[in-house]
Structure 1
């Protein structure tokens, strides 16, 4: 029995040694941290939701000292948000370059401009909704009045969006379709940011802008614009408590936008894991929660794997919408 016990102990010791020996290189392979300045690239100009998300991340990461290197924000607007993504994919496998992802990444895939699968999903951060804003002295006080004019003469209403095929454009197109208007006849004007579209509304250059709620609220608070509806599934709170949803006005339309972090193609599991952990700490801060409340963003944090599945479902949904609207290639 003694000989048998010694043999078992020896076997267990050898087995444990094998396991530990195998674990050392595995642990080493899992280790990654940035060694140079990190760039968070934004596909639109300063002032919009994409830019605001990027600069909020930058501020919290640096204030909380969550990474050992500087983090900068680089705006590269243009090309219906393809330019910034071409830029980060010039650095494949390099997790020092990231982009603020949104549904336009999916829409550009469907339109044949870019493939969302050419990028590495890191994490989903927030969801937001579309606000439909007109100038405070506009004759349109609700969505029904706007749709009635669109039915009468689509060319008489200039509509601002920040990109073609993005959530705000799709929400406007779905509203038109629900009201019996051919979305392809809409007079769409594309701006670099939602903020630029709102400025155009104030200047009388366009009649309505479909933008992110968080960007639109400030002008409404100042009494310069009127938000005639939102694309949320139910009425929102705070400053938007008196704004009816599209559904409340008789249009079965509800669509959400999202903001995320994506990296260039070819990132390793260790690189993705590093940024997942950093972002997990970011979204737990009081500063992040305050920003969510201020801009009416819904926190919806998903790690890389879940975010990847989320984008797959988004692709199917958006492709169906864009096909129905005649916007798919």
Structure 2
């Protein structure tokens, strides 16, 4: 085939969408770092993203590496150290990682990695174990006011959005946020087990992690951190409806390895955007009650920087950091 004919063929394929992205051709074997234990929001997001990338033909294979702990810092450290310059490695991350890095005063610099895209946002649902003596959030708050330490709040790592929300709730209730008894778990699976076992008073996480237990009556939802009731379950009141002026969301995104080239970054972003337009990804959004919140490239970088500043301000005001 003559070179000009070959180039015209490539152009025709690209126009029809039959040609995979440059990244998909060069980096078909994708490695996805999930800096959390199995069963939580990051794990669900990473595996749903990997499946969607395969279905959308943006990758030939996807392998997953779970490294949980310290709000993602235990996974972030080796990613920064060993993935440098590798366009085939991605890391799932989100607001929880930012909060964890702030509360732990970690020396790790997230921005050494390459910001690619924000994908979703969701709100936290607070639930009670089925056998809880409490029936409503109002009853939990009344107990919090009486004896802050007696209320065990279960959730993800320190600095997770449910931890920040608990501190904000305490502040709104007139309780010193430093006195809340927050029990941090390494992953959503551990937190869920603690709630089901009645080992915490109240637990918080995304609706995607609690939905099946709420449906079967093993957990009782008492509040959501959104501004409006969730479309998937309009029976759960918002904190604001309960007179608690707290609203906070939990977003998740993807970073690439440190030191990749601008062209490699663009290829990865193009692959992610194509994936978010696939039927497979849209099914994952509906199934997990995630809201699409795609933001890419430099806009995503600016967003992460502003989120660091915003979370520090919220956490300082709530007494979580000095």
| TM-score range for the pair, normalised by the shorter chain length | 0.7 to 0.9
Any unmatched runs of 5+ in structure 2? Answer: 1-20
Say if 1:108 and 1:115, in contact at 8 Å, map to a contact too. no
Aligned equivalents of 2:173, 2:110: Cα separation in 1: 32
Aligned equivalents of 2:170, 2:235: Cα separation in 1: 23
Q: Deviations over 1:52-81 (max 9, x none)?
A: 1111111121233222x4211110002331
2:241 aligns to what SS in structure 1?
A: helix
Instruction: Please tell me whether Structure 1 or Structure 2 has the larger radius of gyration of its CA atoms.
Output: 1
Q: Select the residue among 261, 283, 308 that pairs with 2:254.
A: 261
Moved over 6 A (4+): none
User: Partner of 1:57 in structure 2?
Assistant: 49
How far did residue 288 of structure 1 move? 1.3
Matched, 1:175 2:169: yes
1:258 aligns to what SS in structure 2?
A: strand
User: Partner of 2:193 in structure 1?
Assistant: 199
Matched, 1:249 2:242: yes
User: Partner of 1:233 in structure 2?
Assistant: 227
Q: How does 1:73-84 map to 2 (within 5 A)?
A: 73-84=64-75
Matched, 1:284 2:283: no
How far did residue 104 of structure 1 move? 2.6
Aligned equivalents of 2:109, 2:118: Cα separation in 1: 18
User: Partner of 1:210 in structure 2?
Assistant: 204
Q: Select the residue among 186, 208, 218 that pairs with 2:180.
A: 186
Q: Deviations over 1:114-157 (max 9, x none)?
A: 32322210000000111101112323222221111011111211
User: Partner of 1:322 in structure 2?
Assistant: 315
Say if 2:167 and 2:320, in contact at 8 Å, map to a contact too. no
How far did residue 37 of structure 1 move? 2.9
CA RMSD of aligned residues (A): 1.7
Q: How many residues align?
A: 298
User: Partner of 1:14 in structure 2?
Assistant: none
Aligned equivalents of 1:304, 1:141: Cα separation in 2: 45
Say if 1:31 and 1:270, in contact at 8 Å, map to a contact too. no
User: Partner of 1:97 in structure 2?
Assistant: 89
Q: TM-score, normalised by structure 2?
A: 0.88
Q: Which range moves more in the overlay, 52-61 or 241-250?
A: 52-61
User: Partner of 2:78 in structure 1?
Assistant: 87
2:162 aligns to what SS in structure 1?
A: helix
Provide closer, same or farther for how the CA distance between residues 328 and 119 of structure 1 changes in structure 2, counting only shifts above 3 A.
farther
Aligned equivalents of 1:115, 1:246: Cα separation in 2: 34
Say if 1:43 and 1:76, in contact at 8 Å, map to a contact too. yes
Matched, 1:46 2:38: yes
